[in-house]
A and B are shown apart, each in its own frame.
Chain A
Amino acid sequence: MFLINCPYCGERDQTEFSCGGEAHIERPKQPTELSDDQWAEYLFMRKNIKGVQFERWNHAHGCRKWFNMVRDTSNDKIHAVYKMGETPPVK
């Protein structure tokens, strides 16, 4: 049970948040122009890294804002938290 530093509210308990999976997978601007394979890549393919992973999180029981987080999945260490649209930190 980790603590997450919500970029809008500050440090809160993990129970207030929900994880939205891998971050920085942009929805294609023109899905209709994609092949089945390209669309499947967007739709289904997600990394599941043991180590540093970029994730989307939602402060579901707080401000309800989505933001991004860099977390090491092997030890739950959170390296960075940043707002949607902001440039991700370099690894």
Chain B
Amino acid sequence: MSKNLRINKNNFIDQTTRISFKFNGKQLFGYKGDTLASALLANNIHLVGRSFKYHRPRGIMTCGSEEPNAIVQIGNDSSLTDPNVRATEIELYEGLEASSQNCWPSVNFDIGGINNFLSPLLPAGFYYKTFMWPASFWEKYEYFIRHSAGLGKAPTKSDPDIYDHQYSHCDVLIVGGGISGIISAKLSAEKGLDTFLIDDKNFLGGSTIYQENEAYKINDIYSNEWLAKEIKSLKNYPNLIIKNRTSLAAFHGYNYLLARENLTDHLSISDRKNKIRQRLWKIRAKKVIIASGSIERPLIFSNNDRPGIILSSSIKKYIDYYGVKTGENISLFTNNDSAYETAISLIKSGVKVNVIVDIRKNSESLIVKEALDLGLKVLWESTVVETQGYKKIKSFEVMRLSDDGNNVIGNKTKHNCDCLGISGGWTPMVHLFTQSGGKLKFRNEDNVFIPDQNKTPTNQISVGSCNGEFKLDEIVTRTIENTKSFLDLSKTCYDEMKINCPDEISKRNIWLLPSDKPIGKTKPFLDFQNDSTAKDVKLALREGFKSIEHVKRYTTTGMGTDQGKLSNMHALGIIADTTGTNMGELGTTTFRPPYTPLTFGAIVGRNVGEFFDHTRKTAIHNWHVKNNAEFENVGQWKRPWYFPKNGENMHQAVQRESKAARDSAGILDASTLGKIDIQGTDASEFLNRVYTNAWSKLEIGKCRYGLMLNEDGMVYDDGVTTRLGENHYIMTTTTGGAANVLSKLEDYLQTEWPELDVYLTTVTDQYSTISICGPNSKNIISKIVPSLDLSDSNFPHMSFKNTKISDVNCRIMRISFTGEHSYEINIQSNYAEDLWIKCMEAGKEFNLTPYGTETMHLLRAEKGFIITGQDTDGTLTPSDLQMDWIIGKKKFDFIGKRSLYRSDTIREDRKQLVGLLTDDPKEVLEEGAQLVENINTKPVEMLGHVTSSYFSPNLNKSIALAVVKSGKKLKGKKLIVPMENKNINVTITDTVFYDKENKRLNA
């Protein structure tokens, strides 16, 4: 096991800096520049994880973000552990601890591996088909299925890392730092455009940067040397920003893109302290150049998933870039020339290449000739039919292909190996292009979906192999051409280019390679992560699934964390072949963001904890905190809920507060109520149109309660509005409705009634409101404002006075939401806390008691006053609330008036607001509880529900408000509130429970 498969090749890997890490508890070493995958391979570790469904041993298969198998758990800290990380993407750092997923007790001996032997019993749709009966058992099945499913373990504690968001408004965004991305970036930067280049790797240059081959030359030097020089020259452009380790997640309309930059994941744990882990870039680019490249396809044959079976291009990268041999006796299996480049690299590095199995009849391209000259053995027109080796490939069997490629012929030959490279051609990465709204076309010649130039959204192009250009000369010249015309360039540094590269002459593609066994006896994997095979796709088609989207979901092909980067094309190809459809007509499944998985941390950025939402606090908040208030969230506001004293619970505190408010005096911070300043010569007319009642005749200095409807006639908001002057009002709204009411009023003013001279200004934050109620409220106010005449004749209920308290202007309204004699003082918020303290001092002798929202709700319920949003839910008209008195019937129009006599709103059996008394006065109903008349007829008819319910200390009994069908007519009727353990008997009553004659207002 502890073999070292590293060769000396120091271009990219710093072999002087050793890094220690742990895999499944075992101490191992790698070098600076390694990924976890390359370091594991260097230690001769292929087996990394177990597959999702059959728990088959799986190894590293690729070297990039398309990796389906080698996904690991990083770390074991309960808050920092990271599941489902691709070993091919994580850079090695000192102290890295990784472990295999989806296996128990260990990756080498996994109990779940029994599923592999049961696999004939577990075809596509197994769970759907098996756990259907009996339907009621699903919840029992679900428990076990959920426990056996899933990959890595999510952290159990909250994430301590810092995440960030940043905007970029660049002229040109280039996605991908391969050869075409580099060329485009230089052209853009040379022109002086603000250019942003991102690449998901820690180095630039893509696969060209390690392409050291005689056959590939640009301007007479090796292509890798040329590219290295170009990358070096990018440093000269201050207008070019390069972001490595940055992966583009999403490409939305109007060139709005999201990219995730990894900042610390490659550092040792101790170097990460206090640094931002990831940054989400929100990029609005004037122009976008996609240079996302292409990825190699696997080949689909029986048991093509064994550890040691690796994409041929990845074998090349491991040897040329990381200096790691993926084996010592390697064979290759291909349908194109790419594998020959791999073979040449391996041979030149001293690795034995046993044989190349090629499904083509022959190829005479330069690259094949070079490989043959090096002594390579090729089996033409042949296919691998089977492989052996449980935890790692040991051998494979080859047969000749028939002329049409549908069958195998002749004798089987067996070849030993410790690694098999596979190459099925190349798939352009068109994800981002299609995410942005671009449409694809199918190129039959080499079976690729490529961007359709005629259906490309404006201000973007695709260049390089993601655009279907695979040959070096094509890539370079067309990237230059396309970038020049896209960015409107004339003379550039790339105007005279000389490129040498070999031609690929021969092509052959077979989606599902034939075998000598019937398909039922083979295991040709398509989606390695989700364990779906070509058999499953064929089964789905036999069972009647036709749409590619349905086949995908039924077989789960392409639904893993790799999102089918390797599997989708083959699934499409097999569907097309089986059904006799052209792939172009079949289309693809939808490519959805993100391209690679994003962390939740990157998505939320800094908006966590106290920054999750805005918190609004009143100017008196500190006093509430000091006096032990419990707070309630009302919208974004923190409102005192109740003020417990001496260990009281909520019920005890509320009972005490409610009693004190009616017996002597209570004080409430009402600052959160919305306040809108209304001015203009048409202010009165405006109020006439937005409220149901009449306003023109309201005298200056007087207040009036108003009800605001929606155009559909339903109650929307309510509050008291005061006429401050001829053309000046101040409107109060509910706390939660303030912003919406202002928006709605602005909407009408701007769009329906632009002729009205009215100006609206929100002053909610500018003024604080202190409400003092109770029989002693007058005595307290007179102590605070001795100069003010508080007699009923000078300052009656529903009027207001401008006055001064210690030289500070304030407005005092005599209005009441409790039914008590009551004042509301409005003062500039800066002075509010001082005034509150003043009131508390003045009220000391009267037991002035601060109360919160709960007591406020109780007191108003005793009076039958509604709270919009609690007693109403957008389905109640004023008449439903028994508030017909507030409708200005003589008024020509107001918002919602016409709707009040629609056929539906005049129905008599609508739900209407009523009062409820429980037969047992101690029994307090639950808000939201249902009301029924007859519990025994089934189905039980629901007549309505409880909207507000309290125990009233002032009445010494339970009271409630409810909405009930035809409730207005049902006074005195007995109903039942059915609860879990008992039925509660109630009687419908009037909505006003306390002081029906309103005597206390003037007490």
Q: In whole Å, how far is B892's beta carbon from the nearest beta carbon of chain A?
A: 8
**Residue B592 interfacial (CB < 8 Å):** no
User: Which residues on the B side are within 8 Å of A34 (C-beta)?
Assistant: 898
Whether A3 contacts B254 by the Cβ 8 Å rule is: yes
Q: In whole Å, how far is B12's beta carbon from the nearest beta carbon of chain A?
A: 38
Q: In whole Å, how far is B284's beta carbon from the nearest beta carbon of chain A?
A: 7
User: Which residues on the B side are within 8 Å of A2 (C-beta)?
Assistant: 253-254, 256
| CB closest residue in chain A, given B904 | A36
Whether A85 contacts B747 by the Cβ 8 Å rule is: no
| Interface residue ranges of B737-751 to A (CB < 8 Å) | 743, 746-747, 750-751
Residues 56-67 of chain A, each 1 if its beta carbon lies under 8 Å from chain B, else 0: 101010001110
Once bound together, how far apart are the Cα atoms of A28 and B895, in whole Å? 11
**Residue A16 interfacial (CB < 8 Å):** no
Chain A CB within 10 Å — which of B254, B437, B752, B754 has the most? B254
Once bound together, how far apart are the Cα atoms of A43 and B256, in whole Å? 36
Whether A66 contacts B747 by the Cβ 8 Å rule is: yes
Q: In whole Å, how far is A17's beta carbon from the nearest beta carbon of chain B?
A: 12
| CB closest residue in chain A, given B712 | A43
Out of B252, B743, B751, B893, name the residue touching A32 (CB < 8 Å).
B893
User: Which residues on the A side are within 8 Å of B898 (C-beta)?
Assistant: 28, 31-32, 34, 39
Once bound together, how far apart are the Cα atoms of A13 and B282, in whole Å? 12
User: Which residues on the A side are within 8 Å of B892 (C-beta)?
Assistant: 32
With A2-B253, A39-B899 known as contacts, the answer to whether A27 contacts B752 (CB < 8 A) is yes
With A32-B893, A39-B898 known as contacts, the answer to whether A66 contacts B751 (CB < 8 A) is yes
**Residue B677 interfacial (CB < 8 Å):** no
Whether B893 contacts A31 by the Cβ 8 Å rule is: yes
Q: In whole Å, how far is B828's beta carbon from the nearest beta carbon of chain A?
A: 24
Whether B256 contacts A1 by the Cβ 8 Å rule is: yes
User: Which residues on the A side are within 8 Å of B747 (C-beta)?
Assistant: 20, 58, 66
| CB closest residue in chain B, given A66 | B750
User: Which residues on the B side are within 8 Å of A85 (C-beta)?
Assistant: 754
Out of B252, B437, B902, name the residue touching A39 (CB < 8 Å).
B902
Out of B254, B712, B751, B903, name the residue touching A1 (CB < 8 Å).
B254
| CB closest residue in chain B, given A44 | B712
Once bound together, how far apart are the Cα atoms of A28 and B899, in whole Å? 13
Q: In whole Å, how far is B784's beta carbon from the nearest beta carbon of chain A?
A: 38
Whether A40 contacts B902 by the Cβ 8 Å rule is: yes
User: Which residues on the B side are within 8 Å of A48 (C-beta)?
Assistant: none
Whether A43 contacts B254 by the Cβ 8 Å rule is: no
**Residue B933 interfacial (CB < 8 Å):** no
Q: In whole Å, how far is B167's beta carbon from the nearest beta carbon of chain A?
A: 9
Chain B contact residue count (CB 8 A cutoff): 23
Chain A CB within 10 Å — which of B457, B754, B898, B902 has the most? B898
Out of A28, A30, A43, A56, name the residue touching B751 (CB < 8 Å).
A56
With A39-B902, A43-B711, A84-B754 known as contacts, the answer to whether A58 contacts B743 (CB < 8 A) is yes
Q: In whole Å, how far is B584's beta carbon from the nearest beta carbon of chain A?
A: 22
Whether A65 contacts B254 by the Cβ 8 Å rule is: no
Once bound together, how far apart are the Cα atoms of A60 and B746, in whole Å? 11
User: Which residues on the A side are within 8 Å of B712 (C-beta)?
Assistant: 43
Once bound together, how far apart are the Cα atoms of A31 and B903, in whole Å? 15
User: Which residues on the B side are within 8 Å of A3 (C-beta)?
Assistant: 254, 284
Whether B750 contacts A65 by the Cβ 8 Å rule is: yes
Once bound together, how far apart are the Cα atoms of A65 and B754, in whole Å? 12
**Residue B897 interfacial (CB < 8 Å):** yes
Q: In whole Å, how far is B593's beta carbon from the nearest beta carbon of chain A?
A: 12
Once bound together, how far apart are the Cα atoms of A20 and B254, in whole Å? 21
| CB closest residue in chain A, given B458 | A77
Whether B897 contacts A32 by the Cβ 8 Å rule is: yes
Residues 722-756 of chain B, each 1 if its beta carbon lies under 8 Å from chain A, else 0: 00000000000000000000010011001110100
**Residue A75 interfacial (CB < 8 Å):** yes
| Interface residue ranges of A11-47 to B (CB < 8 Å) | 13, 20, 26-28, 30-32, 34, 36, 39-40, 43
| CB closest residue in chain A, given B903 | A36
Out of B252, B457, B746, B899, name the residue touching A64 (CB < 8 Å).
B746
Whether A84 contacts B893 by the Cβ 8 Å rule is: no
| CB closest residue in chain A, given B897 | A31
Once bound together, how far apart are the Cα atoms of A36 and B743, in whole Å? 28
With A30-B893, A32-B898 known as contacts, the answer to whether A84 contacts B750 (CB < 8 A) is yes
| CB closest residue in chain A, given B739 | A60
Once bound together, how far apart are the Cα atoms of A39 and B904, in whole Å? 13
| Interface residue ranges of B508-545 to A (CB < 8 Å) | none
| Interface residue ranges of B741-782 to A (CB < 8 Å) | 743, 746-747, 750-752, 754
User: Which residues on the B side are within 8 Å of A40 (C-beta)?
Assistant: 902
| CB closest residue in chain A, given B253 | A76
Once bound together, how far apart are the Cα atoms of A56 and B751, in whole Å? 10
| Interface residue ranges of B458-506 to A (CB < 8 Å) | none
User: Which residues on the A side are within 8 Å of B746 (C-beta)?
Assistant: 64, 66
Chain B CB within 10 Å — which of A13, A31, A56, A64 has the most? A31
User: Which residues on the A side are within 8 Å of B743 (C-beta)?
Assistant: 58, 60
| CB closest residue in chain B, given A33 | B898
| Interface residue ranges of B12-28 to A (CB < 8 Å) | none
Q: In whole Å, how far is B689's beta carbon from the nearest beta carbon of chain A?
A: 10
Once bound together, how far apart are the Cα atoms of A66 and B892, in whole Å? 27
Once bound together, how far apart are the Cα atoms of A36 and B898, in whole Å? 9
| Interface residue ranges of B811-836 to A (CB < 8 Å) | none
Residues 247-267 of chain B, each 1 if its beta carbon lies under 8 Å from chain A, else 0: 000001110100000000000
User: Which residues on the B side are within 8 Å of A32 (C-beta)?
Assistant: 892-893, 897-898
User: Which residues on the B side are within 8 Å of A58 (C-beta)?
Assistant: 743, 747
Chain B CB within 10 Å — which of A43, A65, A85 has the most? A43
User: Which residues on the A side are within 8 Å of B457 (C-beta)?
Assistant: 75
Whether B751 contacts A75 by the Cβ 8 Å rule is: no
Once bound together, how far apart are the Cα atoms of A43 and B252, in whole Å? 34
Q: In whole Å, how far is B889's beta carbon from the nearest beta carbon of chain A?
A: 11
Out of A1, A13, A60, name the residue touching B253 (CB < 8 Å).
A1
Whether A43 contacts B899 by the Cβ 8 Å rule is: yes
Once bound together, how far apart are the Cα atoms of A66 and B899, in whole Å? 25
Once bound together, how far apart are the Cα atoms of A26 and B754, in whole Å? 12
Once bound together, how far apart are the Cα atoms of A26 and B743, in whole Å? 18
Once bound together, how far apart are the Cα atoms of A2 and B436, in whole Å? 12
Out of A20, A36, A56, A65, name the residue touching B902 (CB < 8 Å).
A36
| CB closest residue in chain A, given B898 | A31
Residues 233-255 of chain B, each 1 if its beta carbon lies under 8 Å from chain A, else 0: 00000000000000000001110
| CB closest residue in chain B, given A78 | B254
Q: In whole Å, how far is B795's beta carbon from the nearest beta carbon of chain A?
A: 37
| Interface residue ranges of B263-293 to A (CB < 8 Å) | 284
Q: In whole Å, how far is A1's beta carbon from the nearest beta carbon of chain B?
A: 4
Once bound together, how far apart are the Cα atoms of A30 and B893, in whole Å? 8
Once bound together, how far apart are the Cα atoms of A76 and B253, in whole Å? 8
29 pairs, A vs B, C-beta closer than 8 Å = A1-B252, A1-B254, A1-B256, A2-B253, A2-B254, A2-B256, A3-B284, A26-B752, A27-B752, A31-B898, A32-B892, A32-B897, A34-B898, A39-B902, A40-B902, A43-B712, A43-B899, A56-B751, A58-B743, A58-B747, A60-B743, A64-B746, A65-B750, A66-B751, A75-B253, A75-B437, A75-B457, A76-B254, A84-B751
10 cross-chain pairs, A with B, having the tightest CB-CB distances, nearest first: A31-B898, A1-B256, A2-B254, A66-B750, A27-B752, A76-B253, A39-B898, A3-B254, A1-B252, A66-B751
Q: Beyond the given A1-B256, A20-B747, could you list 6 further A-B residue pairs with CB under 8 A, ordered by the A residue number?
A: A1-B253, A31-B893, A31-B898, A39-B898, A75-B437, A84-B751
